[in-house]
Amino acid sequence: MGRGERGPEGTFADAAAFGELVVNATGGLVSVAALQAAGAENLRGKVVVDVSNALDFSQGFPPKAVTFDGRSVAEEIQREFPDTRVVKTLNTMNNL
């Protein structure tokens, strides 16, 4: 892990290997890919706190919430990394 002017820097894999707890604060549409970059071996046995929301801004505002065949991002993460303990927190609520 390199050292920046203000502290350590590194890859998703470096952070996941170092941490006892992993927080997924990536965009929900890329969360699984980011955690794949972190490496399943670095996530094994750890708690992954998922604060992401799968929001599609491609059609402008307001964004559309995206599901993966009816599943949430946290469910997709758990499916991809069965040896982790995924905790979903926060949510998206729309009002008209």
Exposure string of 2-37, with b = 16+ CB inside 10 Å and e = fewer, is eeeeeeeeeebebbbbeeeebebebbbbebbebbee
Express as a percent the part of the chain with pLDDT over 90: 57
**pTM reported for the whole predicted model:** 0.81
Angle between helices 31-38 and 73-80 (to 10 degrees): 30
**pLDDT for 24-48, tens place per residue?**
999 999 999 999 999 999 999 999 9
Question: What topology does CATH give the domain 8-87?
Answer: Rossmann fold (3.40.50)
In this prediction, residue 96 has a pLDDT band, given cuts at 50, 70 and 90, of very low
Cα 7 to chain centroid distance, Å, stands at 22
In this prediction, residue 72 has a pLDDT band, given cuts at 50, 70 and 90, of confident
72 and 29 in contact (C-beta within 8 Å)?
no
CA atoms of 83 and 14, how far apart (whole Å): 19
Q: Where are the domains of the chain?
A: 8-87
